[in-house]
Amino acid sequence: MNAKSGRRRVQAVLKRVPMTLFLLLGIILVFSLLTGPAKYLKLSNVMNVINQCASGVGILALGSFLAICSTGVDLSLGGIASLSGMLTAKLLSWAPAPIGPALLLVLAIFVALAAGAVMGSLNGLILSRTNIPSFIITLGVSKICETLSRVIAGGTTIRVNGHAAFEFIGSGSLLSVQQTTMKGARVITRSIGILPVSVLIMLALYVLFSLLMRRTPFGTYVYAIGGNYEAAELSGIDTTRTRFRVFLLGGLLAAVTGIIMTSRLTAASAANGLGMEFDGIAAAVVGGAAMTGGRSTPWRTFIGALTISVLRNGFSMIEMLPAMQMIAIGLVLIIVVAIDAARNRR
Amino acid sequence: MKKILVLFVAVLFLLSGVSACAEEYEVTLILKDNTSAGWRYLASAAIAMGEEIGVKVTENSPLETQDADQQYNAVLDAIEKEVDAICIAPVDSAGIVPALTKAYEAGIPVFTTNTRAFNEGDEVISFVGVGNEQGGYDIAKYMFAQFPEDETINLIIIDGNRTGQTTLDRIAGIERAIAEDGRVNLLDSQEAKFSRAQAQETMENFLVKYDDIDLVIALNDEMAIGSYNAIVAAGRVEEMLISGFDGTPEGLQAVLDGQISASLNQSLPGQGSEVIKAVKTYLDGGEVEEWIVVGGEVCTPENAGELLTKLIK
């Protein structure tokens, strides 16, 4: 009898742990066996994956999660990231600048975030005034952003030269350790950032959004809308305003991604960020979000984003053909959703 | 669920192609995409040369064209794999620099092929490719010479991708030739991202917009053929000449068939094999040139057949 209730308790706990976490650990295990744990799990590669996550899908996925959770979908995130990244580069490469470098940096970041907010609001505004589905609206806004980005770029890459404070956002770290490796007879010492600024920004945003979803009326409203739109509306929730805020926040998150991306590459081209919205959706779905809305959490989305980054890095470590990588990522996506659906039916 | 996981692991093993590596050196080759023919010629020549001289060449190019971020990640992944050298044709000559600096700090030599990185310094051991500025100049000069001396030449340029150094250099060369010639009237130019489909669309628009076009200079063969298709569809083949760039088999065949007038031999397979040779020489402790010149001759109906046999053999 005891054993039975014990097992039930274990099952109950297991059910609360996101399945994706097991999947992620499983994938890491497979990759470390294939690559050799010493190479795959060494500090520099672990930081490499987390960094790739923070400057790629990591932050943007939060925006995808919010949109999906409130029964929408946001296809403009990549476009907004491109536009914001481009604005940052354009302002920072302003020469001769009429203001000092520190002020210019503040201005550039402000303008980039403002652009994200404006584009996000545009999504929200059209959504609240019309019956057009969100994927159509955001697709249109995405194209607007892409075009603006191309126009600002004037068809080339905008380089940001020698702006140390700005580069620190995407490549800097608050704390570094030395890693020594042998390369034949040579000893190579590299400094590995273990508290990268971009990763800290990403984690801070996840903490913030986790609180926002759990502790504020806004979070409750989002889940309510996703759970049952009509019921939410009938119970007096201002659905229009909530969905407007969802897309506004999405725009801001995409803008942060754009800024970090530009900082990491120290250059912006209009093509940067385009298509990233699909990685964001994949991350949210792998994290457990249902396209019908109302499910998953920011931290689950984080695991989803990490899974995407681990897959990309792992496939390139095991030297899989790039075309094959897409099959594997597609398979993972379908398997996760299938298992999730099967679990819910039970 | 267990079955699915086991299956997944099995698939991973299969796809990864676990192979015994008896070769001496490991090299990661990062080209601009996995979709266009030109890069396949470069990659297969590099891999073949690697097998011949004992270098294990693994390609990790972004799937879609112009994905600078993916290339950046590919460089970082190669650093973590502790490869012996990285060969890259950067999509974004400026954006790739921070990643190349990281490779330099990790003690991994970098070779650029086809396209230079911006302001190449210590990070890059050598560049293998044609002088794109000179190539642009040579092909433009050759094409201008096809027209009578006192005639204005109405020119259309099908541009490549302005974030890459290759495009900027070729355009600079063409502009130098235009300035020298004095007869050329540049009607229009637009980026078509080195894609046949995009060039065809761009050319269709130009054909509607301009009644009098004498010459179309496309920055690669794919775009030249795309433009040719648009011109055929509009029934205006007799009105204008077209030139390409690259000297790919398709391009050379188009020159032989009279679809395009000329191309510039980049020798993409040559870039692939020479860069791997240079890597081997360097890793063995030998000296390599900062710029290893490959190709560079104008392909005309006279020499295209010969170049084509060389490529296909």
Domains and CATH numbers, chain B: 24-130+267-295 (3.40.50.2300), 132-264 (3.40.50.2300)
Residue A332: list chain B partners with CB under 8 A: 8
Shortest Cα distance from A159 to chain B (angstroms)?
Answer: 7
Instruction: Give A274 to chain B, closest Cα distance, Å.
Output: 9
Residues A214 and A337: their CA atoms lie apart, in Å, by 24
Which residues of B fall within a CB distance of 8 Å from A273? Answer: 69
Q: What is the pLDDT of residue B95?
A: 85
| pLDDT, tens only, B206-248 | 998 999 999 999 999 999 999 999 999 999 999 999 999 999 8
pLDDT value at B36 more than 80: no
Worst-scoring range by mean pLDDT, A142-146, B31-35, B147-151? Answer: B31-35
**Per-residue pLDDT averaged across B287-294, rounded?**
91
Proportion of chain A in helix, strand, coil states, percent, rounded to 5: 75, 5, 20
CA-nearest of B101, B60, B48 to B276 is B48
User: Which residue of A269, A274, A327 to mutate against B (max B Cβ within 10 Å)?
Assistant: A269
pLDDT average, residue stretch A100-127? 95
Q: What is the pLDDT confidence band of residue B51, given thresholds at 50, 70 and 90?
A: very high
Confidence tier at B153 by pLDDT (50, 70, 90): very high
How high is the pLDDT of residue B12?
A: 55
Chain B positions touching A320 (Cβ under 8 A) are: 15-17
Contact of A309 with chain B, judged by CB distance below 8 Å, is answered with no
- Return the percentage of chain A with pLDDT > 70, whole number: 96
Average pLDDT over residues A305-316: 89
Residue-level pLDDT at A8: 79
pLDDT at A22: 86
Residue B252: what pLDDT? 93
Contact pairs from chain A to chain B, CB under 8 Å: 127
- Would you call A307 an interface residue with chain B, using a CB distance cutoff of 8 Å? no
Q: Of residues B234 and A180, which shows the higher confidence score?
A: B234
Tens of pLDDT, residues B167-199: 999 999 999 999 999 999 999 999 898 889 999
Q: Which residue of A has its CA nearest to B31?
A: A322
Rounded to an integer, what distance in angstroms lies between the CA atom of residue A186 and that of residue A188? 6
Highest mean pLDDT among A198-212, A331-345, B89-103: A198-212
Owner of token pair 């396949």:
B40
**Residue A69's closest CA among A234, A302, A301?**
A301
ipTM over 0.85: no
**CB burial readout B224-244, b (16+ within 10 A) else e:** bbbbbbbbeeeeeeeebbbbb
- A20 Cα to chain B: minimum distance (Å): 13
Lowest-confidence range among A292-296, B26-30, B55-59, B184-188? A292-296
Retrieve residue B32's tokens.
């601009």
Class of domain A23-28+35-345: mainly alpha
State yes or no: pLDDT of B119 exceeds 80: no
Q: In this predicted structure, what is the pLDDT of residue A5?
A: 75
Task: Determine the pLDDT at residue B13.
Answer: 55
C-alpha span between B155 and B176 (Å, rounded): 14
| Token pair listed for A156 | 């080339």
Q: Where are the domains of chain A?
A: 23-28+35-345
Q: Which of A34, A44, A275 sits opposite B16 (nearest CB)?
A: A34
Q: Do A39 and B81 touch (CB under 8 A)?
A: yes
Contact B127, B166 (CB under 8 A): no
Three-state SS sequence of chain B: CHHHHHHHHHHHHHHHCCCCCCCCEEEEEECCCCCCHHHHHHHHHHHHHHHHHCEEEEECCCCCCCCHHHHHHHHHHHHHCCCCEEEECCCCCCCCHHHHHHHHHCCCCEEEECCCCCCCCCCEEEEEECCHHHHHHHHHHHHHCCCCCCCCEEEEEEECCCCCHHHHHHHHHHHHHHHHHCCEEEEEEEECCCCHHHHHHHHHHHHHHCCCCCEEEECCHHHHHHHHHHHHHCCCHHHCEEECCECCHHHHHHHHCCCCCEEEECCHHHHHHHHHHHHHHHHCCCCCCCEEECCCCEECCCCHHHHHHHHHC
Does residue A45 sit at the B interface (CB-CB below 8 Å)? yes
* Mean pLDDT computed over every residue of chain A: 88
pLDDT at B21 over 70: no
pLDDT exceeds 80 at position B311: no
Chain A CB contacts of B59 below 8 Å: 321-322
Instruction: State phi, psi for B112 to the nearest 5 degrees.
Output: -100, 145
Here the contacts of A327-332 (C-beta below 8 Å, separation 24 or greater) are A327/B15, A328/B11, A328/B12, A328/B15, A329/A282, A331/B8, A331/B11, A332/A23, A332/A27, A332/A286, A332/A307, A332/B8
**Count helices and strands in chain A by DSSP H and E runs:** 16, 4
pLDDT digit string (tens) for B64-106?
Answer: 766 788 899 999 999 998 899 999 999 888 889 989 999 998 9
A11-45, pLDDT tens digit by residue? 777 666 777 888 899 999 999 998 888 888 888 88
Is pTM, for the whole model, over 0.95? no
Mean pLDDT of the region A66-87: 95
The tens digit of pLDDT for each residue in B241-251 reads 999 999 988 89
